[in-house]
A and B are shown apart, each in its own frame.
Chain A
Amino acid sequence: MNHPEDDIQQAVPLSQHLALVARMAQEFATSLDIEETLNNATKQMMETMHAEAASIFLLDNNDTELVCRTCAGPIQLTGLRLAANHGIIGNAVKNNTVQMVLDVSKDPDFTAQVDEQTGFTTRSILCAPLTIKDKKLGAIELINKNTDDGLFVEDDQHILTALAAAAALAIHNAAMASALVEQERIQHELELAREIQANLLPVAEADDFPVHGYNLPMREVSGDFYDYFSLPDGRIVFNLADVSGKGMNASLLMAKTSSLFHCLGKTQSSPGQLMSMINNEVHENSTRGMFVTMVGGIFDPASNQVVLANAGHQPPMLQYADGRFEDIIGQSPPLGIVPNIEFPETTLQLDDGSLYIYTDGVTESQQNGKMLGEAGFQSMINAHRDKPVTARIKAMFESLQREDRELHDDVTVLVIENKTLTPSLTLNVPAKANYIKELRDSTRGMLQAAGSTKEQIDSITLVISEAASNIIQHAYKGNEGDIELNIHVDSYASPPQLVINLRDYAETIDISEIRSRALDDVRPGGLGVHFMKQLMDNLVYTVPEDGRGNRLEMRITIK
């Protein structure tokens, strides 16, 4: 067989084959349209390798079937499905080996099923598996060599193996790309879902509105929600709920329950009956044991009363004006579990207290492996309790999101309070003598509006001027900087106090050096601190939490 003519005859097709391998490998690598590339490749393989037909089969249906993705030749096989473990192509995939069958009539694995259906006569088959690492994708199959003897040779086997490797990589990359597109689509849809969910939450109201809430989802979508809206008679319907489970199904149940509440709550003002109706609705269509815990109620600003019902949610906490906390215990099961039950109502006199309704994401947040718990949450509330409600909620969520804290669940807090309106003022001015008047004028305006006595207004404006003068002269020492003034009421103090805070960002001063002079020593200077001590009930210098500058807190009983 090793005649020189034979070698020459072989050399031409081999170089053609190598060119084919190179061209196809490049096409596969750069292809943006995998379908078209595979179509072209199949056709070129058939022509260059002198086969009568060529096809690519890929595993499908959990790898139980091989489906023809593309083919070239007299018979159209695209879409044809074969059992994955069947026939010669099945062997190629299963054993991850090239199958070369020179005479199919003598091969026990050959199934004539396709030939019978198509009228085509298969004589010989060359079939190479498509794999990436250990992952089986399918196989390339060539049918009937177009030469005189109609036989595939060993070189054909090598060439097809090389082509199969390039094709497998292209198919794999295309699958990855489409998975990525799919992932991006899902991400986009989650973002839309999050947007829709966020729109289900009520718009934040000003500080004088009695109900405020905040939701921090842990994923794109949340299983928590809250809502509040005013009725024409001035009463405010509110709820906070936590859907069992997380992710998309929880968020869909959340959307449904919140819509039910928002719609039915406009006409049914008994929280217990409202929750019975929602319970039955959720139960009718609840899937796979999902349920909703909810505190729902109605607040009447005129009587300062809250009527609420609790469906399996953790007890809300009522903080009385004197600072005491009480859990408002309920005994009903969550919504969606038992149909046709009643949800008993509890009536609370809110007065100057605050009702905190929250999800367990708050109390189960962890710091150094330790859960915050109810006591920890109460401490957190107390740390910010003399802040107005929106600032308090903001401060609490900032604490919860501190780096050393771990949140494992959606966190939602709803606060109901209707305290007597308290004056407050926050002002930031440059540390320059000509800005002291601005501090004085703003303070006077605020206190006059709040109905303070002239004597008290004069005292407070004087101490603020003195404190600001000291900051300019002794803290900043003439350098540039800011002075922050905050005045608010501590309504928990008994009797209530006005709290005046002045803060600077200068170097921290040695507190022991601040003293007033003896008054019998008639000389200029040193009077300012004497004025402050004389006029205020209490005066404390501290270093602010962020460790910068100085803070002076002065308190005076409100007259």
Chain B
Amino acid sequence: MTKDTDSPVKFEIDDEQGYLIVRFSGEIDLYGTPHAREVILNCIKSDRSTVIDLSAVTYIDSSGVASLVEGYQLAKNNNLEFGLVNISDAVLSVLQLAHLDKVFSIHSSLDERIQAS
């Protein structure tokens, strides 16, 4: 488990059922995005399928959404899985606004995602 306490965006990474699961918390805007982006891309660069838990993210803006898109594309190019789980209403409405709610694979939990596949 990795922790970071200095960033405006907090996160924890756990290794569960063959996936790296990144649990972000806080607000992902222009200030927090560079850090969140680095965390997401590092997970995929370590050649692991990655799931992002967004339940504790109270706010995300277009820069945060853009890092999710980058993670999605990098995973796809490396034949890895990339998904979102447990997303808050605040995040969902922004993804809907970006018409990305159908692009990402979104599940209520990691278990549900494994069952669905």
A contact set with B: CB distance below 8 Å:
433-434, 436-437, 440, 458, 461-462, 465-466, 468-469, 472-473, 519, 522-525, 527-528, 530-531, 534-535
Residue B12 lies at the interface, judged by CB distance under 8 Å to chain A: no
Residue of chain B at shortest CB distance from A527: B62
Counting chain A CB atoms within 10 Å of each CB, which of B61, B70, B94 scores highest?
Answer: B61
Chain A residues whose CB sits within 8 angstroms of the CB of B63 once the complex forms: 469, 528
Indicate which residue in A433, A473, A525, A531 contacts B97 across the interface (CB closer than 8 Å). Answer: A531
Query: B27 within 8 Å of A by Cβ?
Result: yes
Q: Cβ of B80 < 8 Å from any Cβ of A? A: no
Q: Which 8 A-B pairs have the closest CB atoms?
A: A524-B66, A527-B62, A433-B31, A433-B30, A528-B62, A469-B30, A434-B31, A519-B99
Residues of A within 8 Å of B67, CB to CB, are 524
B29 and A531 within 8 A (CB)? no
Contact (A523, B69) CB under 8 Å given A433-B31, A434-B8, A472-B30: yes
Q: How far is the CA of A446 from the CA of B29 in the complex (A)?
A: 20
Q: How far is the CA of A389 from the CA of B61 in the complex (A)?
A: 35
The answer, among B30, B61, B70, for a CB contact under 8 Å with A462, is B61
18 contacts between A and B (CB under 8 A): A434-B8, A436-B30, A436-B31, A437-B27, A437-B31, A440-B59, A461-B59, A462-B61, A469-B30, A469-B62, A469-B63, A472-B30, A522-B69, A522-B72, A524-B70, A530-B97, A530-B98, A535-B97
Assess whether B108 is interfacial by the CB under 8 Å rule: no
Q: How large is the interface on B (under 10, 10 to 19, 20 to 34, 35 or more residues)?
A: 20 to 34
Contact with A along B42-76 (1 / 0, CB 8 A): 00000000000000000101110111011011000
With A440-B59, A534-B97, A535-B97 already in contact, the answer to whether A527 and B65 are too (CB < 8 A) is yes
The reply to whether B93 and A458 form a contact with Cβ atoms under 8 Å apart is: yes
Interface membership of B103, Cβ < 8 A? yes
CB-nearest residue of chain B to A432: B31
- The answer to whether A466 and B62 have CB atoms under 8 Å apart is yes
What's the Cα separation between A72 and B65 when bound, in Å? 105
Beyond the given A434-B31, A437-B29, A469-B62, please list 17 additional residue pairs across the A-B interface where CB-CB is below 8 A: A433-B29, A458-B93, A462-B97, A465-B59, A466-B61, A469-B30, A469-B63, A519-B99, A523-B73, A524-B66, A525-B66, A527-B62, A527-B65, A527-B66, A530-B62, A530-B97, A531-B94
